[in-house]
């Protein structure tokens, strides 16, 4: 069993209630997986959000913001995983944004990708 605490941002918690049930289920499955197994054997791509495309006009600003706020994102499988990619590196249209710390994660946002947008400061509360 993993020893990670799961927290939720205030805005994310409010918005979660309005997500489609299928989306809620996928997010709950991610949370349960993290609680039971940590980050091992996740089906989707899970990566630090500081890996910004070099051609992004706000590259330096986004990298700095992502690093300062410990931002990561996970391809959650919504609408569906791209099964042409290997297990563990599958992408999807939607990603779950979270802050990753040594002993906990804080889920803060959920959005379509592309385009890749980092959660605003209001979502980090």
Give, for all 125 residues of the chain, the pLDDT tens digit: 578 999 999 999 999 999 999 999 999 999 999 999 999 999 999 999 999 989 999 999 999 999 999 999 999 999 999 999 999 999 999 999 999 999 999 999 999 988 889 999 999 99
pLDDT value of residue 107: 99
CA 67 to chain centre: 14
> How would you classify the pairing of strands 94-100 and 104-112?
antiparallel
pLDDT value of residue 116: 85
- Residue 43 CA to residue 108 CA, distance in Å, equals 20
- CATH says 5-124 is which class? alpha beta
Lookup result for tokens 């799961």: 6
Residue 5 backbone phi and psi in degrees, to 5: -90, 140
Tell me how far CA of residue 43 lies from CA of 9, 57, 81, in angstroms: 24, 31, 8
pLDDT value of residue 44: 98
pLDDT value of residue 3: 82
For the chain, which residues make up each domain, given as ranges?
5-124
């Amino acid at each position: 069993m993993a020893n990670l605490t799961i927290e939720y941002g205030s805005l994310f918690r409010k918005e979660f209630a309005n997500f489609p049930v299928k989306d809620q289920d996928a997010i709950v499955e991610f949370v349960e997986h993290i609680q039971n197994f940590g980050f091992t054997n996740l089906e989707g791509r899970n990566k630090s959000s500081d890996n910004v495309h070099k051609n992004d006009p706000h590259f330096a600003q986004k990298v700095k913001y992502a690093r300062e706020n410990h931002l990561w994102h996970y391809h959650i499988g919504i609408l569906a995983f791209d099964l042409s990619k290997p297990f563990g590196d599958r992408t999807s249209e939607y990603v779950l944004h979270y802050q990753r710390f040594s002993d906990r994660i804080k889920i803060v946002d959920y959005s379509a990708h592309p385009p890749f947008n980092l959660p605003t400061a209001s979502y980090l509360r």
